[in-house]
Amino acid sequence: MIIAVAGGKGGCGKTTVAVNMALSLASKKSVQIADCDVEEPNVHLLIKHKLLWEKPVSLFSPQFNMDKCTLCGNCVKFCQYHAIVKVPNKILFFQELCHGCEGCAFVCPHEAVERGEKIIGVVRGGVSENGILKLVYGLLSIGEPRAPPLIEAVRKSCNSDTDVTIIDAPPGTSCPVIASIKGVDHVVLVTEPTPMGLHDLKLIVNVVRKMGLSFSVVVNKAGLGDDKVYSFCKNENIPIVLEVPYERRISELYSRGIPLVEVMSTWREKFVECFELISEAVKGG
């Protein structure tokens, strides 16, 4: 089973939920956690682990051979992202706009577009110090705008033979989130009972519904604000599978990089119960 933990608002508690659920299940099942928030990964900061491997991820980057180029403009017409511009006597290429699709090379009749590569980041893998939890995460290169290809590399690096894969998705509702949650069995949407939390919850609910994905809600910082999130979930028939209270003790543990299930054993049981509710939802279609 693949479970993605998402939520429109940054800082709402996605990583807290993902890490604590993974740690709670790891003693009973084979579990791996994948941090797809490649711009700001932090799962590896909360789970004590041993790094086992690292591999670079690169994308196609065209190299223009001007000895072969006739300035026909086919590559310019093909590129929908305007990464290639023809000016008098030469071709200008804007690397930051290129999506690495290789279309320019395909349409060039003179083979003037040659293959180059640009490293966009790295994928790293490891295992928790007790050996029961696998960890995979991506780290996007500084200044690199193309997160989705690296997210796809993170997901491809996950083992398919584990019982449960938990994906920590990036915040928002844009392309990196879509790349993180597409094809999963269930999406856990983490929110908080505040006006901004409700606003962003509505956005991500709209996304997962359009994608046809099974989903539920976890309310983090419960007791902080009002009950409008609860009313919304009730009216929309969205199940709330867990509430994490707004407590100083929990915040202190997180700020020190300590998962709460490692100190507060009752929460281990609560996250297992949360997973069981998710499993029932997946089985029920």
Question: CATH number, domain at 214?
Answer: 3.40.50.300
Q: Give the residue from 119, 143, 161 where a domain finishes.
A: 119
- Please report the pLDDT score of residue 283 as a whole number: 86
Backbone phi and psi for residue 261, each to the nearest 5 degrees, phi listed first:
-70, -15
Region of 65 on the Ramachandran plot (φ > 0 left; ψ -120 to 50 alpha; else beta): beta
Position 166 scores a pLDDT of 98
pLDDT band of residue 279 (cuts 50, 70, 90) is: very high
- Give pLDDT, residue 232: 98
Cα of 242 vs its chain's centroid, Å: 21
Identify whether the C-beta of residue 219 lies closer than 8 Å to the C-beta of residue 192.
yes
Judgement on whether residues 93 and 134 belong to the same structural domain of the protein: no
Mean pLDDT of the chain: 95
Distance CA 256, CA 25 (A): 22
Based on the fold, state whether residues 198 and 252 are members of the same structural domain: yes
Percent of the chain with pLDDT over 70: 100
Please report which confidence band the pLDDT of residue 11 belongs to, taking 50, 70 and 90 as the band edges: confident
Tell me what the mean pLDDT of segment 67-92 comes to. Answer: 96
Quote the strand ranges of 65-214, DSSP E: 84-87, 90-93, 113-128, 133-140, 164-168, 186-191
Supply the pLDDT for residue 192.
95
Asked if residue 270 belongs to a domain, the reply is: yes
Q: Binning pLDDT at 50, 70 and 90, where does residue 75 land?
A: very high
Overall domain count for the chain:
2
Show the domain range for 204: 2-48+129-283
Considering the domain architecture, whether residues 78 and 187 belong to the same structural domain is answered as no
pLDDT at position 95 over 80:
yes
Q: Answer yes or no: do 252 and 155 share one domain.
A: yes
Q: Is residue 151 part of a domain?
A: yes
Same domain, 198 and 99: no
pTM: 0.93
Place of tokens 């305007």: 82
Q: What is the CATH number of the domain that holds 79?
A: 3.30.70.20
Q: What is the mean pLDDT of residues 149-171?
A: 96
Question: Per-residue pLDDT tens for 207-237?
Answer: 999 999 999 999 999 998 899 999 999 999 9
Residue 22 lies in a domain: yes
Residue 8 has pLDDT above 80, yes or no: no
Tell whether 124 is covered by a domain.
Answer: no
Per-residue pLDDT for 73 more than 70?
Answer: yes
pLDDT class for 250, splitting at 50, 70, 90? very high
What local confidence, expressed as pLDDT, does residue 12 receive? 86
Q: Are 171 and 9 in contact (CB under 8 A)?
A: yes
Kindly state whether residue 81 falls inside one of the protein's structural domains.
yes
- Token code pair at residue 164: 């449960």
Asked whether residue 247 is assigned to any structural domain, the reply reads yes
- How much is the average pLDDT of 15-39? 96
Read off φ and ψ for residue 273, nearest 5 degrees.
-60, -40
pLDDT level of residue 285 (50, 70, 90 thresholds): low
